[in-house]
Structure 1
Amino acid sequence: MGSPLLLAWQLDRSGVEGLNGVAVGDIDSYMDLRGSKLTRSSLKSTAERLRSLLRYLHRTARVAADLSPHIISPRLYAYEGVPSILERDQITAVLASTSMDATAAGLRDHAILQLLATYGLRAGEVRNMRIEDIDWRAEVVRVRHSKTQAYTLLPLMEPVGEAILTYLRSGRPATDAREIFIRTRAPFRKLDKLYSLVRRRLRDAGVKPLGKCGPHIFRHARATELLRAAVPKKVIGDLLGHRSTGSADPYLKLATEDLRAVALDVPGTEVLA
């Protein structure tokens, strides 16, 4: 989006001929304008796209000088952002609150939240889950991981199975769609997204997490719980459908207090009287 917006911005300011006279000051003004509305990560992406645009404009003789070296983007560090999570008592509160809603939407949302909280699934993995992915006799649920395109067979935990079964029997509308979770209003098709659903249920339960409050917050919580329980990162990665074991590294930050609790005293650091 950065490149088209710059062109539109400059043309609006200076007309068709304005592109010829674009200068470093124009770029600075534009980046200052965009920077106030973007995260550091988005600003870095915008800067990279603008560099490409300015190199192209110079190469095609549309501007006299190559201005791309003048664009400074923020430096990003690996795992600099700590994911938002829910603590176990907050998850319990959300599940309890939603279980009190006996409407079709309530039954559906409770089953979805059980899946998110128990397995740490991605939103797309829940939305795309099909009726045939539940093997009731073997008590197994098949998860299609949206990023790796692999399948994982997970034990169908009792609270999850009960919630899904209740929804299928009493909340799911009659439809030919094979996806489990369906809109409550016509046209009866699979859900488009889960963000607003999760945010509403958190609000209704009086849970106000720091940071984002979409479905991924349950995934973060599950990963952190497993790390705190000393589950190997390879096992966590297999459960959550990670492409690499390094994908679990950001969650290590969330267990800081746990790591401090097992820290060893370093010899020679005693405070002298």
Structure 2
Amino acid sequence: MKKILLTDLVLESKEAIKPIQYSASTVYQYGLAWDELIYFFKSHGQTYFSKKLAIRFVQDSKAELDQGFIKEWRYKLRRLSVQILIEVLETGSYLWKFHHKDANSSLTNQMKLLHNAYSAELTVAGKGNGTCGCYEVVARQFLIYVQNELHMGVSQLRLGDVGSFIPYISKFYQVTSMCTMLSALRSFLCFMYKKGLTEEKLVKAVPSSGARKNSVVPTIKKIEENQLLQSIDRTTRIGKRNYAMVLLAMRTGLRSIDIVNLELSDIDWRKRTISITQKKNRRPLTLPLLADVGNSLADYLLARHHSSPYVFLRCQPPYTKLSGCFSISCSVMKKASIRQSDNQRKGFHIFRHSLAARMLSQEIPLSVISNTLGHGSMASSKVYLSTDGEHLKTCALSLKGIEVTKEKLL
């Protein structure tokens, strides 16, 4: 690592963040954090930048946060200001990114190494990002349970310990999610046994399956869809973006991950189609570009002022693609006063459910619905049968032929 005065590195960093187009107040806040760091270095008799001392500054700030001396936003500001300096020093530039909290921070070093090894194993096995994320969460939850509740190492685990974990962790999952959780737990236990970390084959303590998904999938009515669309202010750039995203989800049933990753090249304006490779199952999918969807997309794209291969961008610096859209659907539903109970789902997936339910009520074949939604198997679309109340009524058995008798009261 090259030797450089801290003040010079700060000046380089101020230049490096200019392309991100932070607001003046954000740049000012970073300047205050760097001034605090310079003061910290001077108090330790240091004028040249030291990564070790900068990390110590962050650690001391964390201690101040834990003791209630500073607010969390100030700690985050100091931590990010140091990360910017380090990246500029090591790479000569700075690329904006989300800085997530270390999810394994509560694990011991030994447990962290085990979890990291399992994560690497999942990647080598070719698991998808969604599967890796889910399995890593369950593995972390199990290790935290072993560490904090059982107070033992994994080598001491027995079948009964795994058995006690399942009712413990079930409190944090919906009944219909237990099947996925158990599959993830099974995978992690097999990994530990294969690596010789456990004496017993602990996977034997895991039930063969979780609860069946037999609940009615949530949907919204046509009148509620109109209510949602009308509640969005389309005079602003953020309103135009949100309107286009919600309408796209309503009309096509695209998953939220495919919406935020939609690229300009995926839209063929002449052929009026949208062609993507789905992130979940990596299958190609081509859908018609309906007139109202195309108009809303064009309205938004003409209003945005920043170039990017992606369609939907952040409306604040840096103007990168969105990382998710749950907050958008939540805010739109709140403004329209729809689905405001705590137990009601508010994500974009409800638009997918609603489209499938409406197609089913119009007696569109299940195979067509499956193709429209990009399912890998037609069986995945059968869950929407529960939404078709009118046709389900015809399946009800008659009481004709069943004798009903009345008994006298004694």
TM-score normalized by structure 1?
A: 0.80
Task: Say if 2:331 is the partner of 1:190.
Answer: no
For 1:86, the aligned partner's letter is: I
Quick one: which of 76, 88, 93 aligns to 2:211?
76
Q: Note the aligned Cα RMSD (angstroms).
A: 3.2
Q: CA deviation at 1:137?
A: 4.1
For 1:190, the aligned partner's letter is: K
Aligned runs of 1:88-99 on 2, under 5 Å? Answer: 88-98=222-232
Q: Which has the larger radius of gyration?
A: 2
Task: Say if 2:257 is the partner of 1:124.
Answer: yes
Cα distance in 2 for partners of 1:141, 1:87 equals: 26
Contact 2:220 2:350 in 1 (8 A): yes
Secondary structure, in 3 states, of the residue corresponding to 1:36? helix
- Going from structure 1 to structure 2, the CA distance change for 1:110 and 1:14 (only over 3 Å counts) comes to closer
Aligned runs of 1:180-259 on 2, under 5 Å? Answer: 180-208=311-339, 211-259=344-392
Q: Which moved more, 1:22-31 or 1:236-245?
A: 22-31
- Going from structure 1 to structure 2, the CA distance change for 1:141 and 1:73 (only over 3 Å counts) comes to same
Secondary structure, in 3 states, of the residue corresponding to 2:274? strand
Identity %: 24
Secondary structure, in 3 states, of the residue corresponding to 1:143? strand
The Cα offsets for residues 60-89 of structure 1, whole Å up to 9 and x where unpaired, read as 4854x5554344465332x42332111111
Q: CA deviation at 1:266?
A: 4.9
Aligned runs of 1:25-104 on 2, under 5 Å? Answer: 25-51=160-186, 53=189, 56-57=192-193, 60=196, 62-63=198-199, 66-72=201-207, 75-77=210-212, 79-98=213-232, 100-104=233-237
Q: CA deviation at 1:272?
A: 6.8
Cα distance in 1 for partners of 2:150, 2:366 equals: 55
Q: Which moved more, 1:111-120 or 1:129-138?
A: 129-138
Contact 1:55 1:68 in 2 (8 A): no
Task: Say if 2:309 is the partner of 1:173.
Answer: no
Cα distance in 2 for partners of 1:21, 1:257 equals: 56
- Going from structure 1 to structure 2, the CA distance change for 1:167 and 1:26 (only over 3 Å counts) comes to same
| Equivalent residues, number | 264
5+ residue gaps in structure 1? Answer: none
5+ residue gaps in structure 2? Answer: 1-136, 406-410
The Cα offsets for residues 180-216 of structure 1, whole Å up to 9 and x where unpaired, read as 2111112212211111111111111111176321111
For 1:248, the aligned partner's letter is: S
Q: CA deviation at 1:264?
A: 8.0
- Going from structure 1 to structure 2, the CA distance change for 1:108 and 1:7 (only over 3 Å counts) comes to closer
Cα distance in 2 for partners of 1:83, 1:227 equals: 13
Task: Say if 2:276 is the partner of 1:141.
Answer: no
Cα distance in 1 for partners of 2:321, 2:309 equals: 9
Cα distance in 2 for partners of 1:184, 1:39 equals: 34
Quick one: which of 142, 145, 148 aligns to 1:9?
145
Contact 1:143 1:151 in 2 (8 A): yes
Structure with more helix by fraction: 2
- Going from structure 1 to structure 2, the CA distance change for 1:47 and 1:158 (only over 3 Å counts) comes to closer
For 1:103, the aligned partner's letter is: T
Cα distance in 2 for partners of 1:272, 1:30 equals: 49
- Going from structure 1 to structure 2, the CA distance change for 1:32 and 1:94 (only over 3 Å counts) comes to same
Task: Say if 2:285 is the partner of 1:151.
Answer: yes
Q: CA deviation at 1:90?
A: 0.7
For 2:294, the aligned partner's letter is: G
For 2:241, the aligned partner's letter is: R
Greater relative contact order (Cα < 8 A, sep 6+): 1
